[in-house]
Amino acid sequence: MQTWSVPGLSVVVVQGEGVQTFAYGALEVGGDAPVDEHTRFPVASLTKAFTATSVALLVDSGELAWDDKVVDRLPGFQLYDPYVTANVTVEDLLSHRTGLDGWAADHLWQGSPYERAEILRRVRYQPAGGRFRDHFGYSNVMYIAAGELVAAVTGSSWDAFVAERLLGPLGMQDSTTSFAELSAQGNVITPHIVVDGELVRMPLYDTDNVGPAAGLSTSAHDLGRWLQLQLADGELQGQRVVSQASLRATRSPHAALPAQSGKGPMATAPHPFYGMGWFGYDYQGQVVLQHGGMIDGARAMVVMVPDAHVGVAVLTNEVLGQAQEAIAYDLLDQLLGVSPQDWVAQLAPKPGAEPEEPPRARRTRPSLELQGYAGTYSDALSGDAEVRLEDGHLVFAYNAKYTADLEHWHHDTFSASWRDPWAATWAGTFVSFELDEAGEPALLRTAFDYPVSFQAEPEAREVEP
């Protein structure tokens, strides 16, 4: 916690029939209210396994099959290519193999006013990043599609289905997929992020529009129940919730992963894979399943070894560190009875050389006066972005998440200082303008999680691809 400036965290360990929870620190930095086993944390992408298990329940009931074509069950579903649209299956959605690049189109839900259906309507304009079923591209948006598929099949919302068929039967009373419910509850963490060495509080983030990919909030107590279900192959306290066959299908390899970076066990595993809502890899002769979750100001991880009947979940209220990984891997080593490693030392940031400054052409000036770049820029995928002159400098603004103060870099490229501290950790460094033959702005390029572009056409109309 000291290494990564974590104000509070909670842990649950499941071993055989035994469940232990631990809690440390406070709900917020400088506060007195302690974290306990029922403290609620947003857990972001840990939600994906709940969505995959929801589909498994529909497979059990015969209402869906893993190889069902999505377009046959979800009217209006459309991707970048007609062949892909016609052939994407439920399994493809849940295993990130539709051909989209990793995190492509995530800006459609981050800080946006778009609801789930509108996000899916717009994703048809997102170009492919690789070949269908041959390219692993981690996609939150395709998990939104999976949630909408659940809703289309059941006639209920994904949220109601998860509450009725999973959270309720498992006794996960601390858990919700509703931002309004979370905001109204007590014993909820305050999210944090480290900015320039200082721990900064952040507001809870509304994840309703990305719910099936990242909308769950839960506690260590409740994740203990979830782990018990997983480790018992779909049963909890003798009651069958989901079939062994369908649950195991979510944990089997469906997509090979590219070479991994980092220092955790998955980074050095010979054949890491993605199932449906789970990453998998070999560690110490065992198949380990894990998934992490990151959202504004909070981070979580679940690690389990079904054959050894052990599992761990760690929840923290700081987003940039790797405390949850260090704790999970340390506990995993203990539970498997293997030689311990100092995971804190391995994962802690190492001092290094200052990053090199990107190439810069010296002694250049913008082609236009700053006011000449101001205006509305539009895109069929993304919608509208605005460039305005504010206190003598340009400001780029897209949705509530991506606002940047611009400073001239070279030619018609400006460096971007993103105001949102979490967005600043991943968004692009520059906003660039391209001029037309008349010397007027024609195109704006930048990057959020993924490169995006906008045309300088205030009356831009969407054109079908």
Q: pLDDT at residue 461 above 50?
A: no
SS3 (DSSP) at 372: helix
CA dist 96 → 36, 135, 141, 266, 319 (Å): 35, 8, 10, 18, 24
Mark whether 342 and 416 lie in a shared domain: no
CATH number of the domain residue 281 falls in: 3.40.710.10
Terminal-residue alpha carbon distance, the chain: 49
* Angstrom distance (rounded) from CA 283 to CA 153: 38
Mark whether 264 and 118 lie in a shared domain: yes
Mark whether 304 and 395 lie in a shared domain: no
CATH number of the domain residue 383 falls in: 2.40.128
Mark whether 302 and 411 lie in a shared domain: no
pLDDT above 90 coverage of the chain, percent: 93
CA dist 305 → 22, 30, 45, 151, 327 (Å): 20, 37, 19, 31, 16
pLDDT confidence tier of residue 458, bands split at 50, 70 and 90: low
Locate 431 and state its tokens.
């906003």
Tell me the pLDDT of the chain averaged across its residues: 95
Tokens 């089997």 correspond to what residue?
252
Report the pLDDT value the prediction gives residue 460, as an integer from 0 to 100.
35
Mark whether 314 and 416 lie in a shared domain: no
Mark whether 165 and 72 lie in a shared domain: yes
Instruction: Look at residue 355 and tell me if it is in a domain.
Output: no
pLDDT confidence tier of residue 62, bands split at 50, 70 and 90: very high
Q: Which domain holds residue 123?
A: 8-347
pLDDT above 70 coverage of the chain, percent: 98
* Angstrom distance (rounded) from CA 12 to CA 369: 58
Domain boundary among the residues 284, 315, 347 is at 347
Mark whether 333 and 424 lie in a shared domain: no
Report the pLDDT value the prediction gives residue 350, as an integer from 0 to 100.
85
Instruction: Look at residue 364 and tell me if it is in a domain.
Output: no
Report the pLDDT value the prediction gives residue 465, as an integer from 0 to 100.
41
**What is the rounded average pLDDT of the residues 390-402?**
96
* Angstrom distance (rounded) from CA 279 to CA 67: 20
Instruction: Look at residue 308 and tell me if it is in a domain.
Output: yes
- Pairing of the two strands 216-218 and 41-44: antiparallel
pLDDT by residue (tens digit) across 34-60? 999 999 999 999 999 999 999 999 999
pLDDT by residue (tens digit) across 200-257? 999 999 999 999 999 999 999 999 999 999 999 999 999 999 999 999 999 999 999 9
Mark whether 16 and 118 lie in a shared domain: yes
Mark whether 279 and 409 lie in a shared domain: no
Instruction: Look at residue 132 and tell me if it is in a domain.
Output: yes
pLDDT by residue (tens digit) across 346-393? 999 888 877 888 999 999 999 999 999 999 999 999 999 999 999 999
Locate 430 and state its tokens.
């520059």
pLDDT by residue (tens digit) across 311-321? 999 999 999 99
Mark whether 331 and 400 lie in a shared domain: no
**What is the rounded average pLDDT of the residues 302-311?**
98
Tokens 């051909």 correspond to what residue?
99
Mark whether 55 and 149 lie in a shared domain: yes
The DSSP letter of residue 114 is: -
* Angstrom distance (rounded) from CA 380 to CA 376: 13
Domain boundary among the residues 312, 347, 382 is at 347
Instruction: Look at residue 335 and tell me if it is in a domain.
Output: yes
* Angstrom distance (rounded) from CA 273 to CA 258: 9
Mark whether 210 and 332 lie in a shared domain: yes
Instruction: Look at residue 198 and tell me if it is in a domain.
Output: yes
- Total of domains in the chain: 2
pLDDT by residue (tens digit) across 76-130? 999 999 999 999 999 999 999 999 999 999 999 999 999 999 999 999 999 999 9
Locate 412 and state its tokens.
């018609």
